[in-house]
Amino acid sequence: MSTPARRYPYVGPPELRAAAGPHTAARVLRDTADLDVWLSGRGAAESGEPFTFVVAPDGLLRLAPRRSEHVACAGGGEVLAAGEMGFDRAFGRWTVREVTNQSTGYCPDLGSWHAVARALDGLGVEHPGGFTHEVVFRRCERCHECSVVREGDFVCVFCGSDLPSAWNIAS
């Protein structure tokens, strides 16, 4: 029996959550036809950039234009994963060219990849097998700010304190 996926609560600015509602511009992807319709409707410039994505608690992938807030893409709720995702079309099929967990509103751990893989596998979309760019988030236990760990240096950029080795954003 598999362990249930971790749910990530929104930890970003409250005013962004307040502006997010259950009806957003995000596209819920239930099958490859949904993906094809949504991606085919994007312009050339937009298609060249990664899109905002979340995997909702129902396990479905939701996509929105890149400059969309993750919390809006999620309709204000919790997620199993969040980040940015870029696609290519090859041999008549969409494939994921890049995918990150870069979301400062949810700060998902690297383990959120499993939810992304399940959502993409459910759609039959080829993917790289892991995040192509990993972002490590930690909350400073001294000043309580969220930091991005760069180059394995677990030091808070705000106060200089050591950051914990384990993910702790929701605590």
CA within 13 Å, CB half, 14: 0
Q: What is the pLDDT of residue 171?
A: 62
DSSP output for 70-129: HHHHTTTS-BSEEEEEEEEEETTEEEEEEEE---TTT---GGGHHHHHHHHHHHT-B--S
Helices (H), strands (E): how many in the chain?
A: 5, 7
Domain locations in the chain as residue ranges = 14-134, 136-171
Q: Which amino acid is located at 120 in the chain?
A: L
pLDDT one-digit tens code per residue, 7-58? 999 999 998 888 876 656 689 999 999 999 999 888 888 888 999 999 999 9
Q: Would you place residue 4 in the very low, low, confident or very high pLDDT band (cuts 50, 70, 90)?
A: confident
What pLDDT digit, counting tens, does each position of 129-166 carry?
A: 999 999 999 999 999 999 999 999 999 999 999 999 99
pLDDT per position as a tens digit, 102-115: 999 999 999 999 99
- Looking at per-residue pLDDT, the higher value among 80 and 68 belongs to 80
pLDDT band at 122 (very low <50, low <70, confident <90, very high): very high
Asked whether the beta carbons of 147 and 157 are under 8 A apart, the reply is: yes
